[in-house]
Structure 1
Amino acid sequence: MRVLWVYAHPEPRSLNAALRHEGLRTLTGLGHEIRQSDLYAMRFDPVVDRDDFGAGDGRLIVGDESRRAYEGGRLSDDIVAEQEKLLWSDTVVLQFPLWWFGMPAILKGWFDRVFVKGFGYGVTHPDGRTKRYGDGVLSGRRALVVVTAGSPATALGPRGINGDLEELLFPLLHGTLWYAGMAPLAPLLVPGADRPTNYHQTAAKLRDRLIRLPDEEPLPYRHQDSDDYDENLVLCDDLATGESGLSVHCGDRRSAVRDFSPNRG
């Protein structure tokens, strides 16, 4: 595999840093090729502005200007470098701590700046239909999210007070990765990260996921261009009948947290 590891944590002596080292060592030992984006170490700028697109002083319409810059080769060098890494890869690992139920701002900004119109979205078929939700420039790639959280695994389960992890990460897994064509795998949760009691067990779980990475089945999100949705992009009445909410867009609606809770070894 050609793996791009995108890492977002500011402390090189953290649990996250140790797990990244373990993950990279495992992948290298398995013979995979690796490139990295260590966003804090790179001092990656997360803020979208007109300098990204070489835009003038007129009104900035980000989507339109980003497409023109992408198609015209005018994107800033740091954006182009990250896009080249993505196009080189066939697998992406995204590692970050769960801060206020989402990604750190620097990683959100990485998506904002790198997934410009014409690259991450706004891509069309010859007949004018938009490629999204399972289709797009980045289709054919797989993505694994490795996320640390201070709470126990049970609190991020289906009935946990913090909400189910897959639903918390729905904007990333479904609304960003799947939208742009990438196939997300069930996320790997590292719970109790501010009070780790068994690092070796946690590292072993990460190694196991990375070993299985080439053959692991992705989350069964529904394709937009299928018979699952009507012309208004609403799930058809004969699917998940009587149900609503985020989970209806995932075929078996299982919880990733249950797979990696401490009680499952």
Structure 2
Amino acid sequence: MRLLHTSTLKLVNFLADDVPPYAILSHTWGTEEVTFQEFVAQPAGHKAGHEKIKSFCKLCAQRSIDWAWVDSCCINKENNVELSEAINSMFQWYQRSSLCIAYLSDLQGGMEQSISNSAWFTRGWTLQELLAPSIVEFYCHGWSKIGDKISLQKTITKATGIDASYIHAAKNIGLACVAQRMSWASRRRTTREEDAAYCLLGLFRVNMPLLYGEGGTRAFLRLQEEIMKFSADQTIFA
């Protein structure tokens, strides 16, 4: 796992048994996100993505958190093996984080009732980023804190249709039937059609190879096949 030092902005690789405590960022991608290659070449650049990473790391450092993970710069997406491993591990990485910061960049104010208007609640990948971590704190544009997923539970449940018991603890997700978990994702969208299936791997505790170009329908059929290998839940046919 590759982590970012919150003070030096240096990327460091850790073996699975040696990963230190870390914070993790949940966000919607903009037009100026920073790739792994760009960040290595210019960690203090001035693209909007650089500023987001630096602000996130500054917030973590203020909380005495030395290490952080950001999907845009911590995964070498030009390496297909690394990308596949990262996507198949993503749920666990969020679950094992000490803190998840959900940055709602499209919200200008810190009003609780406005968070459901954020695009963050419409994206496929942010579903597991809401459910997997024990602690999720929400920040609006300017990095002002709105609250956390416990204090904002009623608003989050209304926006997502997810019962409080699943929001409070990832261990409860397995108690939800397949159809229920699928319903949580039904109103969410991904940029790449295959990701509509890939972003659900952790939610169903399954793994499968990534085949970008196979199309969304084929990817979803393969996801269903993997689920059926480990579950007799008939609601998958609903």
Q: TM class by shorter-chain length?
A: 0.3 to 0.5
Higher CA-based Rg: 1
Give the alignment's TM-score, normalised by structure 2: 0.34
The structure with the greater share of residues assigned to helix is 2
